[in-house]
Amino acid sequence: MEKCRIRALPLILAAIVILSAFSCAGPIQDANKGTPMNAEPASKVVDLTPSALVEYDTSVPTPPSSRSIESTSPAPALILLYHNMTSSAYPGDYDRNINDFRADLRFLRDSGCTFINLSDIEKIQSGALVPTEGQRFAAIVIDDGFISAYTMAFPVLKDEGVPATFFITTANIGATGFMTWRQVDEISSWKPRGSTPAFFELGSHTVDHRSLAYDPVAYPDKNDYIIFLNMELNQSKIALLPHMNSKQSSVFLALPYGDGSDEPEVANAAIRMGYAGIRTSNYGAFDASNPEWNYRLPCAVMYGSFDVSSALPLYNPYLYRNGVVNLTIR
């Protein structure tokens, strides 16, 4: 019996040493991730704000100063919003038949509309792009980053020589049904022969397509909501920048579901993060020469059954100047 006790003693001592080590040591490290497995969970603020440079910036920014307008002519502009492209003869609400898409572009051109990119809005405001009397502008935008934007819309836009902005939900890139970063790079780098500016632009549709509208239940502390906006807008822009054409002069934001267009905090976050404007889902056209529109840009959503000709009357209020309607078609 005494021999058994002696033999067991080393085992008992070893167990004590091991238990002491666990009780005195810090958090256990995950060998694969290098992060504590038994550490206290991070606070909500840390979870929402990966960048210390922006995480606590909840100040109200000063809106960009109004630009000097050299042109005295109005610049009626209409953004046409597309989502998924399809070859189906009976597209869903947010699908557009690819043949109808091509027909839309040709109809707008034949109706005298000049195609522009969203960054051209700033050129109009600065006087670098001066509209002629009665000139109407059309901007094509495609949301979400679906694979059909690359396989179907991109070839048609190239063939028709029409610029466009692709609003990307960055967390979806590479997922089933969405573009890869290689395909995004191919789109942003393409340009017609002899063209210098970026022909196809990229914009942010946030990181994961969450609604940007304020939810007091989810964010009882409104600072947490503002920090969430900072994260979504900052991190999506950071992800996009390496894939943008070096000639792209500015970046715009598109609101998921159109939510948050009436939230001043959304516009403030966009200004803090350096966005040139916000495209909402509010229905209508606007005067591109007026910088007061930039953070509430309306559009016409091109649903599967939408007739593009019905969007043309949206231009009319912005063709008025001193009671005269300018209808000159170039």
The predicted-structure confidence for 132-188, as pLDDT tens digits, reads as follows 888 999 999 999 999 999 999 999 999 999 999 999 999 999 999 999 999 999 999
State the alpha helices, DSSP H only, in the chain.
Answer: 2-24, 44-48, 98-110, 119-126, 147-148, 154-160, 181-189, 222-240, 264-272
43 pLDDT exceeds 60? no
Distances (CA, A) of 55 to 52, 99, 112, 275: 5, 45, 46, 17
Q: Report residue 198 CA to chain centroid gap.
A: 17
Radius of gyration of the chain (CA): 27
As beta bridge partners, residue 84 has: 95
- Work out whether strand 76-82 and strand 297-301 pair parallel, antiparallel, or are unpaired: parallel
The predicted-structure confidence for 66-106, as pLDDT tens digits, reads as follows 554 444 578 999 999 999 999 999 999 999 999 999 999 99
Q: Which residue has the tokens 């340009």?
A: 191
Share of the chain above pLDDT 90, in %: 68
Instruction: Give the pTM.
Output: 0.80
Structural domains in the chain, sorted by start:
2-40 (no CATH), 76-321 (3.20.20.370)
**How many whole angstroms separate alpha carbon 39 and alpha carbon 166?**
41
